């Protein structure tokens, strides 16, 4: 089903399909067993609006170079992008396994952290209210070092993602209660974060089915970040003493994965 904004814009956008491109979105999710699932592609939906293919990935109205700015961090759009709508399927994901999330592109100038969260929705996520989801952070990477500073801001997690073919691998925590979960994967671009409302968030969501241990607690996505957080309002054009990765602390059961090429920095 198309989201309301996408339905309204459809007539005029059908002629612009080749132009539908964001700074980045997830195109594939690959499991440890080698199965690959498609991410949400606005162009595919525009070509076949009456019967779009069912996906585990959430759909959104993120047409063109659209991002979520800090002024909208307390709005539902920060959860799974603009007007995010749950996917119709779930990706079978054994606890303790890895998922590799591949983006279609990411500009080298858009340096920033890469973050991944997980939220439980009990038996199914296909009709869950995004505002009811409570998230724990299972992976994070931010500023790695000052090498290559003349190229803008040193080495960041986004640089590692680009070097690895626009992909990022996350490990699903070993102990999760059986059930459905939403994985939220995000890059925050900081190239104009020295300006008010300058940071750019690109959250992407996908439904998973797994389990052993329940996620207790968790945070509403609308409370992840504030406009003036040190990791959001930051000037990466000058040398940093350090970088405070935004959002809640890593979940106690999180098992971050060292990315290929990360050690090279």
Give the residue carrying structure tokens 């003349």.
150
The pLDDT score that the predictor gives to residue 139 is: 98
Cα distance between residue 72 and residue 75, in whole Å = 5
C-alpha pair distances (Å), 27 with each of 153, 156, 205, 223? 27, 22, 12, 27
Domains and CATH numbers, the chain: 22-223 (2.70.50.70)
With b for 16 or more beta-carbon neighbours within 10 A and e for fewer, the 150-165 pattern comes to eebbbbbbbbbbbebe
Rounded Cα gap, residues 214 and 88, in angstroms: 23
CA 121, 126, 127, 131 torsion: positive or negative?
Answer: positive
192-241 per-position pLDDT tens digit? 999 999 999 999 999 999 865 567 789 999 999 999 999 999 999 888 88
Each residue's pLDDT tens digit, 104-128: 999 999 999 999 999 999 899 999 9
39: helix, strand or coil: coil
pTM across the whole model: 0.86
Contact of 119 with 179, CB cutoff 8 Å: no
What are the residues facing 156 on neighbouring strands?
143
């Amino acid at each position: 089903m198309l989201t309301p904004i996408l339905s309204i814009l459809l007539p005029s956008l059908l002629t612009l399909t080749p132009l539908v491109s964001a700074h980045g979105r997830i195109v594939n999710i690959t499991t440890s067993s080698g199965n690959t699932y498609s991410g949400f592609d606005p162009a595919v939906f525009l070509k076949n609006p009456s019967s779009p293919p069912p996906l585990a990935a959430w759909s959104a109205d993120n047409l063109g170079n659209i991002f979520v700015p800090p002024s909208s961090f307390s709005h539902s759009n920060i959860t799974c992008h603009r007007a995010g709508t749950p996917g119709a399927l779930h990706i079978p994901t054994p606890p303790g396994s890895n998922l590799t999330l591949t983006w279609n592109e990411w500009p080298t100038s858009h340096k920033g952290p890469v973050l991944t969260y997980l939220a439980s929705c009990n038996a199914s996520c296909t009709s869950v209210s995004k505002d009811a989801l409570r998230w724990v952070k299972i992976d994070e990477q931010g500023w790695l070092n000052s090498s290559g500073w003349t190229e803008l801001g040193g080495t960041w997690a986004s640089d590692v993602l680009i070097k690895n073919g626009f992909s990022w691998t996350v490990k699903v925590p070993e102990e999760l209660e059986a059930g459905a979960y939403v994985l939220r994967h995000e890059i925050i671009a900081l190239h104009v974060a020295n300006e008010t409302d300058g940071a750019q968030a690109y959250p992407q969501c996908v439904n998973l089915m797994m389990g052993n241990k329940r996620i207790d607690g968790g945070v509403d996505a609308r409370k992840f970040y504030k406009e003036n957080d040190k990791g959001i309002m930051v000037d990466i054009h000058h040398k940093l003493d350090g970088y405070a990765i935004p959002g809640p602390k890593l979940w106690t059961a999180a098992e971050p994965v060292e990315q290929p090429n990360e050690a090279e920095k």
